[in-house]
Structure 1
Amino acid sequence: MRFPIFFLFALLMAAGARAQTPPATSWNTDLTAALAQAKANQRPVLAVFSGSDWCKPCIMLKQEVFDQPEFAQYAQDKFVLARFDFPRNRKNQLPPAQTKQSEQAAAQLNKEGTFPLVVVLSPEGKVLAKSGYRPGGPAAYDTYLSQLLTAR
């Protein structure tokens, strides 16, 4: 009798823990696919250009904002997310196909080579705003992005 009760208790605890887990943040690495998803869902694209292993503000933006559960919760119903990374260390190199996709996105949206660069695009691909690192963590960044969306 103890085993079934223990098993049921463990199952309920696992279900409760899963219910509290924030949504996983899914990032596109293909601008065309991100825009197609944005058009289908009528959401803007949040495209991020980063140098994940050499750009200190890029690393800070990722750690302080994009990796936080608060940002995942905020972004899940507001944006289609796209990340284009340009690592320099050999051990961090991306697959050639992904590197090509990042280069194509940069040719369209980041001709200046700015890092980090955050670009908000309409579902049709029109640039609505450009930004970079902003201190204050996910709450401040979420507020800033909300202001950018209402200004459009």
Structure 2
Amino acid sequence: MKKIYLIAVFCIGVISAQAQELKWHTDVKEAIAIGTKENKPLLMFFTGSDWCGWCIRLQKEVFKTPEFTKWAQEKVILVELDYPRAVPQTPEVRRQNYEIQNAFGVQGYPTIYFAKATKTEDQKVNFMGLGKTGYVAGGPTAWLGVADEILNQK
């Protein structure tokens, strides 16, 4: 009986941990569709996930915290635009990421842009930039304070 109880507790723990995980979209078109449907801006995280020390630090100190998870689920659609050195990417993802990097003029990592995206009648995407940030010292409270300032300027 104790084994069944322990297994049940373990399964519930795994399920609730999975429910807390955030969805980082890598397909920008999919993220735009969701953002439009939910009326949420995109948080576009430009990162060098396997080599950029500040990107890794931002992930650890902010993006993987319960405070950020709760905030992000309520306020934004997450988009990861990765520029790795050793992790393979499909040619489509690589091309998409470089096109968006050029469109926003991103020159360093980490860079986080907040934007609303709309499609025109001929299916072209227009981004309305709301603001940008990067690594902010002070953990999730400091970073979320900056992010909220950007989002509240709408």
Which TM-score bucket, shorter chain as reference? Answer: 0.7 to 0.9
- Which aligned runs of 4 or more in structure 1 are off by greater than 3 angstroms? none
* Other-structure match for 2:110: 116
Structure 1 counterpart of 2:94, from 96, 99, 123: 99
How many Å separate the matches in 2 of 1:97 and 1:117? Answer: 21
Answer with 1 or 2: which has the greater Rg. 1
CA drift of 1:144 comes to 1.8
Identity of aligned residues (%): 28
Answering whether residue 65 of structure 2 is matched by residue 71 of structure 1, we say: no
**Secondary structure of 2:45's aligned partner:** strand
How many Å separate the matches in 2 of 1:117 and 1:6? Answer: 48
* Other-structure match for 2:10: 14
* Other-structure match for 1:136: 138
Letter in 2 for 1:51: G
CA drift of 1:100 comes to 1.8
Answering whether residue 80 of structure 2 is matched by residue 80 of structure 1, we say: no
Q: What is the CA deviation profile of residues 24-58 of structure 1, one whole-angstrom value per residue up to 9, with x for unaligned ones?
A: 11011122221111111000100010112222211
Q: Is the 8 A contact 2:130 2:153 kept in 1?
A: no
How many Å separate the matches in 2 of 1:99 and 1:14? Answer: 39
* Other-structure match for 1:44: 41
How many Å separate the matches in 1 of 2:50 and 2:9? Answer: 38
Normalising by structure 1, we get a TM-score of 0.82
* Other-structure match for 1:33: 30
* Other-structure match for 2:55: 58
| Structure 1 portions without partners, runs of 5+ | none
Q: Is the 8 A contact 2:45 2:112 kept in 1?
A: yes
Normalising by structure 2, we get a TM-score of 0.81
Q: Is the 8 A contact 1:28 1:82 kept in 2?
A: yes
Aligned CA-pair RMSD: 2.1
The higher relative CO (CA closer than 8 Å, separation ≥ 6) is in 1
Structure 2 counterpart of 1:24, from 21, 24, 30: 21
Question: Is the strand fraction higher in 1 or 2?
Answer: 2
Letter in 1 for 2:100: A
